[in-house]
């Protein structure tokens, strides 16, 4: 059945079953997951390990196919990876023999092979400037910090001008101070461009700070959407004032109670103390 284009990104009754070679049986990772996402929304997905978050993100990216159901962008069913869906993993995945600038340029050239060289360089430089890396354009990945590498990954994803940006715990491997800086950088770029974003995270504070809505998954196997929480906090948001808002405190407590009630990880980890 073709999707009804009533939302920008639509996840329609998606289920995913894997064959488990070790046990000789099937493992149902996702069961009947449906979600409608509007253009320009920032959505976070939270759940304990094994709840199918990455499986769902891979299906949206076109890196995996659902056993049943479908994902569509602007009414077009996703059947394979495509340039309209940029993705940033926890690992920056930069090519070590290329400079920071060249890594971003290569991504643009792959998506837009006919683009003049000067325009490729201009677009890459502009995105790197947005993440504060103008002084490091000609350094190689081995010459910059982990946080800088991840900023290059984000700049690269935005530089190909995707319709949807997919983030798979992009800041999980960073220290707390670097992670906070990266969140600020991401929010600033998102505010300027308003891309549709779907992010996986284990950090409820990160989810509240960045998101319009937070999707809470049930535990696997056969994970489903357990609840969707609206983050009704006005934008633009400031980290300094956010924590003093009663709305922030109420949403945070609600998320922590949900995660703690599922008894899969310690409550401190769910709160983002450990990522």
Instruction: Examine residue 19 and state whether it is found in any structural domain, yes or no.
Output: no
Instruction: Examine residue 14 and state whether it is found in any structural domain, yes or no.
Output: no
Q: Is the pLDDT of residue 269 over 60?
A: no
The contacts of residue 143 (CB under 8 Å, 6+ apart) are: 136
Instruction: Examine residue 25 and state whether it is found in any structural domain, yes or no.
Output: no
Q: What is the CA radius of gyration of the chain?
A: 19
Q: What is the pLDDT of residues 22-55, one digit of tens each?
A: 666 788 999 999 999 999 999 999 998 888 999 9
Which residues on neighbouring strands pair with residue 18, listed in sequence order? 27
Report the share of the chain in percent with pLDDT over 70: 92
pLDDT grade, residue 266 (50/70/90)?
very low
Kindly provide the b/e burial profile for residues 99-115, where b requires at least 16 CB atoms within 10 angstroms of the residue's own CB: bbbbbbbbbbbebeeee
Q: What is the pLDDT of residues 100-147, one digit of tens each?
A: 999 999 999 998 999 999 999 999 999 999 888 999 999 999 999 988
Q: What is the pLDDT of residues 164-214, one digit of tens each?
A: 999 998 888 788 888 888 899 889 889 988 999 999 999 999 999 999 999
Nearest to 94 by CA among 45, 144, 49: 144
Instruction: Examine residue 27 and state whether it is found in any structural domain, yes or no.
Output: no
Average model confidence (pLDDT) for the chain?
88
CATH classification at residue 92: 3.40.50.300
Instruction: Examine residue 233 and state whether it is found in any structural domain, yes or no.
Output: yes
> How far does CA 31 lie from the centroid of its chain?
21
Number of domains present in the structure of the chain = 1
Q: Is the pLDDT of residue 3 over 90?
A: no
Instruction: Examine residue 32 and state whether it is found in any structural domain, yes or no.
Output: no
Supply the range of the domain harboring residue 252.
39-67+78-266
Instruction: Examine residue 144 and state whether it is found in any structural domain, yes or no.
Output: yes
Instruction: Examine residue 15 and state whether it is found in any structural domain, yes or no.
Output: no
């Amino acid at each position: 059945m073709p999707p009804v284009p009533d939302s920008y990104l639509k996840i329609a009754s998606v289920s995913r079953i894997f064959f488990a070679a070790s046990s000789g049986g099937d493992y149902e990772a996702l069961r009947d997951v449906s979600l409608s996402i509007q253009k320009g929304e920032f959505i976070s997905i939270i759940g304990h390990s094994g709840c199918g978050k990455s499986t769902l993100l891979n299906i949206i990216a076109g890196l995996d196919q659902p056993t049943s159901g479908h994902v569509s962008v602007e009414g077009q069913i996703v059947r394979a990876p495509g340039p309209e869906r940029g993705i940033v993993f926890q690992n920056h995945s930069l090519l070590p023999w290329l400079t920071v600038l060249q890594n971003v340029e290569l991504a643009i050239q792959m998506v837009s092979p006919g683009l003049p060289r000067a325009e490729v360089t201009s677009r890459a430089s502009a995105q790197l400037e947005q993440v504060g890396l103008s002084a490091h354009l000609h350094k190689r990945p081995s010459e910059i910090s982990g946080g800088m590498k991840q900023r290059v990954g984000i700049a690269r994803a935005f530089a190909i001008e995707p319709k949807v940006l997919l983030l798979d715990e992009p800041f999980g491997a960073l220290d707390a101070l670097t992670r906070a800086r990266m969140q600020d950088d991401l929010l600033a770029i998102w505010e300027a461009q308003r891309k549709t974003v779907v992010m996986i995270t284990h950090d409820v504070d990160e989810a509240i700070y960045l998101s319009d809505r937070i999707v809470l998954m049930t535990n696997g196997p056969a994970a489903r959407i357990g609840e969707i929480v609206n983050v009704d906090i006005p934008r633009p948001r400031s980290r300094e004032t956010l924590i003093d808002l009663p709305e922030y405190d109420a949403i945070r407590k609600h998320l922590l109670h949900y995660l703690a009630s599922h008894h899969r990880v310690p409550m401190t980890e769910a709160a983002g103390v450990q990522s």
